Amino acid sequence: MKIHEYQAKEIFRRFGVPTPRGEMVTTAEDARKVAQKLGVPVVVVKAQIHAGGRGKGGGVKLARSADEAAKLASKILGMNLITPQTCPGGRIVRRLLVEEGLDIKHELYLSVLVDRAVEAPVVLGSAAGGMEIEEVARENPAAILSETIGPAVGLQPYIARKLAFSLGLTAELAQAAVPFLQSLYRAFIETDASLAEINPLVVTDDGRLIALDAKMNFDDNALYRHKDLLDLRDLDEEDPLEVEASNYKLNYIKLDGTVGCMVNGAGLAMATMDIIKLAGGAPANFLDVGGGASADQVKNAFKILTSDKEVRSVFINIFGGILRCDVLATGVVAAARELQLKLPVVVRMEGTNVEQGRQILRDSGLNFTIGENMKDGAEKAVRLAGGAR
């Protein structure tokens, strides 16, 4: 799960990671009030969307007065912010963070994440603050410092000092880096984060270490033990169909093709997208109904698929193991009847009781096309969607 910068900064502050003073606002008037309250010569108005590169897209501006802050806020609020990380259509800005401007001496990069290669959390640091870490990794991998944190030992002071001195910080700042990093690490561990990133981390003219930006992502599998974090979810930042699918516990990701896919299992679902592409078509979505999909899940999946207006045909690809093909076919027929489905549907089933399943589809009197195998099914679905593009 992703959250906004201002929310990540609230979590940071709770764990003792210093951030600039500021508040989230949703109107220009509130932006003016916050700017006044901050009482500093320069405030920063930052668009809050779940994508990076906001500055490049014109979503981050400096204001030298409360009036200017209000003026900038009214310009940014409601704008369609396009950044290298948003979809090409961009994202509507609904929230702003107004915070104090700081005198910055230099910028660094710092993050905590789980490195699957070492099966443990790592702290990454780089002197190239403000640059995307992926870019640094490509162009100058030696500039990235990495420290693996043993889960039993935790982040010890020496690790913070080692990083700080390697990043060229003064002895004084290296001392300040110890509580800073330990707080950040605690915030990461105690929220089951998958990423806590500060880019840039700044050293101010008056010698303080401050998280000028903040990004946190959380492990979806651990959210059951962090009910408070669930409140931070911003549904405006997610595709409405994906939100609906998640309510049904379906794993759905909207794509931009015309062949709707319903598959059991994530790997097979990805492979199904691939084979549709190979057949000359384009998948409209990724949809995993789960290893043991029920008739109800099939119905919910149909609802989601058919509310995507781009979908021209549906390809159901199920390898029945524990889930029997006759049970699945019954569910598909019932759902198609109940939803009065108009779209052409290609069903490819394999596994337990496949013949009974196919018979149920044929006997239904509904317009199902049978795919003999995965390739045949994909080709038929692409043809029914209007052919190759």
Partner 1 sequence: MSVLVNEMTRVIVQGVTGREGGFHASQMIAYGTKVVAGVTPGKGGTLHNDVPVFNTVAETVRATQANAAAIFVPPPFAADAMLEAIDAGLPLVVCITEGVPTLDMVRVAAALRGSRTRLIGPNCPGIISPGKCKIGIMPGQIHREGHVGVVSRSGTLTYEAVGQLTHLGIGQSTCIGIGGDPIIGTSFLDAMRLFNDDPDTHAIVMIGEIGGNAEQQAAEFIRGHVRKPVVGFIAGQTAPPGRRMGHAGAIISGGSGTAKEKYEVMAAAGIHCVQSPADIGQTLAAALSKSVAR
Active-site positions?
A: 109, 197
Our CB check for partner 1 shows the closer of 235 and 366 to be 235
Our CB check for partner 1 shows the closer of 7 and 191 to be 191
Our CB check for partner 1 shows the closer of 104 and 268 to be 268
Q: How far apart are CA 242 and CA 239, in angstroms?
A: 5
Q: How far is the CB of 276 from partner 1 (least distance, A)?
A: 8
Q: How far apart are CA 358 and CA 367, in angstroms?
A: 13
Our CB check for partner 1 shows the closer of 23 and 350 to be 350
DSSP state letter for 39: T
Given a contact cutoff of 8 angstroms between Cβ atoms, the answer to whether 15 and 190 are in contact is yes
Interface residues toward partner 1, by CB under 8 A: 85, 114, 116-117, 119-121, 133-134, 137-138, 150-152, 189, 192, 194, 219-222, 224-225, 251, 253, 255, 263-278, 283, 286, 288, 291, 319-322, 350-352, 373-375
Q: How far apart are CA 22 and CA 40, in angstroms?
A: 11
Q: How far apart are CA 377 and CA 389, in angstroms?
A: 17
Our CB check for partner 1 shows the closer of 275 and 332 to be 275
Q: How far apart are CA 120 and CA 150, in angstroms?
A: 7
DSSP state letter for 283: B
Q: How far is the CB of 68 from partner 1 (least distance, A)?
A: 35
Our CB check for partner 1 shows the closer of 103 and 115 to be 115
Q: How far apart are CA 148 and CA 164, in angstroms?
A: 15
Q: How far is the CB of 360 from partner 1 (least distance, A)?
A: 19
* Residue 137 φ/ψ, nearest 5 degrees: -60, -35
Q: How far apart are CA 129 and CA 367, in angstroms?
A: 58
List, in order, residues 6 or more apart from 10 with CB less than 8 Å away. none
Q: How far is the CB of 146 from partner 1 (least distance, A)?
A: 15
Q: How far is the CB of 253 from partner 1 (least distance, A)?
A: 6
Q: How far apart are CA 32 and CA 55, in angstroms?
A: 21
Q: How far is the CB of 224 from partner 1 (least distance, A)?
A: 7
- Residue 33: closest CA among 75, 66, 82, 81: 66
Q: 140-155 burial, b for 16+ CB within 10 Å, e for fewer?
A: eeeebbebebeeeeeb
